[in-house]
Amino acid sequence: MDFNLFMGDIAESARNEITQAGFEELRTTDDVKEALSDEGTTLVMVNSTCGCAGGVARPAAASAIHYDKRPNQLVTVFAGQDREATELARQYFEGYEPSSPSFALLKDGQILKMVERHEIEGHSPVEVVNKLQGLFDQYCEDI
């Protein structure tokens, strides 16, 4: 099997999983500029094709948002796939090293907190859900 075809299938599956959960894909720099300039809270999931993204991060993202408090906006960029969009999004994550998968919580375009790869890899989806919902409790309003 052709490697690029194989990876395309994996990436498409990863994209579908997070968008079906309710996250809007930001595939271009214009998409990122528009979404991250919005007022309110925004959760950015930095998606990837690694095992901890599929086994922990995406399931946690899909579950965490079913909560009394959540960000106003749910968006995702795809590391290794939509490189320019991901690079621009990471510029908003001031003080944090590039990490994927990861989650960034912003308010009015300013970084509040991140859940980085080291807080995802080796953890259960439930642990990551708890971290995200703890941030929602701290920074987001009731829905």
pLDDT of residue 142: 87
Domain boundary assignment for the chain: 3-139
Give the mean model confidence (pLDDT) for residues 3-25.
85
pLDDT band at 51 (very low <50, low <70, confident <90, very high): confident
Residues 34/24, Cβ–Cβ less than 8 Å? no
Average pLDDT, whole number, for the chain? 94
Superfamily of structural domain 3-139: Glutaredoxin (3.40.30.10)
Crossing angle of helices 83-91 and 29-36, rounded to 10°:
30
Known catalytic residue: 140? no
Give the mean model confidence (pLDDT) for residues 122-134.
98
Q: What distance, in Å, lies between the first and last C-alpha atoms of the chain? A: 46
Known catalytic residue: 52? yes
pLDDT band at 9 (very low <50, low <70, confident <90, very high): confident
> Which of 27, 33, 52, 67 is the catalytic position?
52
Q: Is the pLDDT of residue 2 over 80?
A: no
